Chain A
Amino acid sequence: EAGVAQSPRYKIIEKRQSVAFWCNPISGHATLYWYQQILGQGPKLLIQFQNNGVVDDSQLPKDRFSAERLKGVDSTLKIQPAKLEDSAVYLCASSLAGYNEQFFGPGTRLTVL
């Protein structure tokens, strides 16, 4: 069974630039999550989708971050404009439903210079 796919794996940009990350969840998983993990900390939930609807985006900095899951399958997360403090690993995860085991992708490591 294919796991959660993410791209790119690494991205280096300068502050004030824009960047987008892509995630393809495990087939059949209705719930998709985006997390931000800063070095030395646990993952912080940015947004949770149930199919193509947003369940929780309370910790998403909406002035610069946006995410969509238009067809209820793959998803994109965008940062515009990026700040130095956005340097982190962005993890995508999926689960059958909101209370089930989450399966994580390999993450995208973002460095903002």
Chain B
Amino acid sequence: RKEVEQDPGPFNVPEGATVAFNCTYSNSASQSFFWYRQDCRKEPKLLMSVYSSGNEDGRFTAQLNRASQYISLLIRDSKLSDSATYLCVVNMGSKIIFGKGTRLHILP
């Protein structure tokens, strides 16, 4: 099993729809989790941290399921500007692992 796995997509979603991604991780001792967004030919930027109790920031909701070892990102009322690659990041204490990313295309 890979240390951090994401569905590469692409997810082609009509504007206004809701879309969700999951990211699984192999190390049960992982300590912190993040979602980063990366636009084409740009550097990654933090979208949100993922807390054990789940957290919401506007249209974005992140959740952590330690029992099943995955984190999720939900985007509601998607906008054209949400088109990007979404990277899952897991801090395993001894090392930081980025997933390969999930590509999202919002269609007009």
Main secondary structure of the interface of A (DSSP, over half): loop
Chain B residues within 8 Å of A105, by CB: 43
Chain B residues within 8 Å of A106, by CB: 42-43
Map CB proximity to B onto A37-68 as digits: 1 under 8 Å, 0 otherwise. 00011111100100000001011000000000
State whether B94 touches A42 (Cβ < 8 A). no
Distance between Cα atoms of A41 and B97 in the complex (Å): 12
The total of Cβ contacts below 8 Å across the A-B interface reads: 43
Chain A residues within 8 Å of B34, by CB: 101
Instruction: Flag whether A107 is at the interface (Cβ < 8 A).
Output: yes
How many chain A residues touch B (CB < 8 A): the figure is 22
State whether B43 touches A45 (Cβ < 8 A). no
Instruction: Flag whether A76 is at the interface (Cβ < 8 A).
Output: no
State whether A43 touches B44 (Cβ < 8 A). yes
Evaluate whether A91 and B43 lie within 8 angstroms (CB atoms) in the complex, with A41-B100, A42-B101 already known: yes
Interface residues of A (CB under 8 A from B): 33, 35, 40-45, 48, 56, 58-59, 91, 98-99, 101-107
